[in-house]
């Protein structure tokens, strides 16, 4: 049996503080459908970050390029594998060209409950976590038990996210992506560099990212939206 503890401690210290190990053959068919054919014989390691630490580490690393978070995450996992599992190759699936359903994997890990604003939520971290790496490895780690946490939105009485959304994209119990996107793409939109609904959510608010990280991530998603609109 391989020991994941030293890798977990090093990843935690580097701000990549959520890890989940799956045996490939335990994943449901819809998750396996987006993975390479050998995945059922391997282990899949899902790595995320939660809270503020990752951004502090990324800032300290002063990395070049448009996505310093991805660069930092990949360098960190390279370093951690070289230190604790030298010579053991792994296949990096995310970030990468293949579309991996990260929230579906997060759901299997017990990290993801759907919020009205579509970012996953849990009662501890709120919506202040994201998925940073997906690896396939020929390893024998102990698989991680599913985290079993309640869905905080089910008991939320005040629903501040719904009233904070300026275009009303969360009305009627479903997320209206076109309404959200049209509003964000307007000149001087207050939602260009932050989601006011997400910011209004009280769950895990002590873990809310640094404003610079929020602006960085939302600028990137806005650029993605612009790109899609141009191609339509
Ligand atoms: C495309 C995409 C978007 C599109 C959404 C368009 C759409 N309807 O697909 C746009 C550009 C709008 C977007 C925006 C954002 N995104 Co986005 N996005 C993705 C991406 C790259 C692919 C999603 C996908 O198509 N999956 C394919 C299907 C088959 O997989 P799935 O898991 O079953 O699908 C789920 C999602 O698609 C989700 N979904 C559907 N519609 C929307 C709309 C939005 C806005 C979001 C966030 C999710 C979402 O619901 C599905 C069922 O759970 C994922 C990364 C990934 N590879 O999964 C990130 C991802 C969903 N995004 C994420 C985030 C955080 C954001 C932003 C907050 C910006 C940011 N990066 O910080 C904003 C949201 C704010 C807003 N209101 O716009 C995170 C969510 C983390 C979490 N805790 O759940 C992800 C997982 C990326 C990551 N590395 O962690 N995103």
Q: Residue range 88-105: average pLDDT?
A: 95
Under 8 Å between Cβ of 107 and 146 = no
Q: How far is the CA of 9 from the centre of ligand 1 (A)?
A: 28
Distance 110 CA to ligand 1 centre (A): 17
pLDDT band at residue 120 using 50, 70 and 90 as cut-offs = very high
User: Which of 73, 95, 102 has most ligand 1 atoms within 8 Å of CB, for mutation?
Assistant: 102
116-145 in b/e form (b: 16+ CB < 10 A) is bbbbbbbebbbbbbbbbbbbbbebebeebe
Asked whether the predicted pLDDT for residue 121 surpasses 80, the reply is: yes
- What CA–CA distance (Å, rounded) separates 26 from 29? 9
- Mean pLDDT confidence for 82-94: 95
Q: CA-CA distance, 44 to 81, in Å (whole number)? A: 14
> Which atom belonging to ligand 1 lies closest to the Cα atom of 169?
77
Q: Is the pLDDT of residue 105 over 80?
A: yes
Cβ of residue 92 lying under 6 Å from some atom of ligand 1: no
* DSSP structure string for 202-225: -TTGGGPPPHHHHHHHHHHHHHHH
Q: How far is the CA of 12 from the centre of ligand 1 (A)?
A: 24
Burial of 101 (0-12, 13-18, 19+ CB in 10 A): middle
pLDDT of residue 66: 84
Q: Is 33 in the pocket of ligand 1 (CB under 6 A)?
A: no
Cβ–ligand 1 contact at 225 (below 6 Å): yes
Decide: 84 in ligand 1 pocket, CB within 6 A.
no
Asked if 201 and 160 count as a contact pair (C-beta separation under 8 A), the reply is yes
Task: Tell me the percentage of the chain whose pLDDT exceeds 90.
Answer: 92
- CB-based contact 24:42 (threshold 8 Å): yes
Q: Which atom of ligand 1 is nearest to the CA of 117?
A: 77
pLDDT band at 7 (very low <50, low <70, confident <90, very high): very high
Ligand 1 binding pocket mutation candidate from 119, 177, 203, 227 (most atoms within 8 A of CB): 119
Q: Is the CB of 195 under 6 A from ligand 1?
A: yes
Q: Which DSSP string do the residues of 127-190 spell out, in sequence order?
A: T-EEEEEEEEE---PPPPPPP----GGGG-SS-HHHHH-TT-TTGGGS--HHHHHHHHHSTT-T
Q: Is the CB of 4 under 6 A from ligand 1?
A: no
Give distance in angstroms: CA of 102 to centre of ligand 1: 8
The pLDDT confidence band at residue 114, using thresholds 50, 70 and 90, is very high
């Amino acid at each position: 049996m391989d020991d994941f503890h030293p890798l977990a401690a090093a990843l935690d210290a580097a701000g990549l503080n959520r890890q989940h190990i799956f045996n490939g053959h335990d994943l449901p068919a819809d998750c396996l459908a987006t993975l390479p054919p050998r995945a059922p014989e391997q282990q899949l390691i899902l790595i995320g970050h939660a809270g503020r630490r990752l951004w502090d580490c990324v800032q300290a690393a002063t990395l070049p390029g448009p996505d310093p978070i991805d660069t930092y995450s990949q360098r960190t996992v390279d370093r951690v594998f070289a230190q604790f599992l030298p010579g053991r190759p792994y296949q990096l699936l995310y970030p990468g060209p293949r579309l991996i359903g990260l929230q579906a994997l997060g759901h299997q890990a017990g990290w993801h409950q759907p919020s009205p604003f579509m970012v996953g939520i849990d009662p501890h971290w709120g919506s202040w976590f994201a998925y940073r790496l997906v690896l396939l490895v020929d390893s024998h780690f102990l698989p991680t038990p599913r985290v079993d946490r309640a869905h905080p939105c089910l008991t939320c009485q005040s629903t501040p996210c719904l009233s904070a959304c300026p275009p009303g994209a969360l009305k009627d119990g479903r997320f209206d992506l076109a309404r959200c996107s049209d509003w964000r793409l307007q000149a001087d939109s207050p939602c260009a560099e932050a989601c006011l609904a997400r910011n209004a959510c009280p769950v895990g608010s002590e873990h809310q990212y640094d404003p610079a990280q929020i602006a960085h991530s939302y600028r990137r998603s806005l650029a993605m939206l612009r790109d899609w609109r141009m191609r339509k």
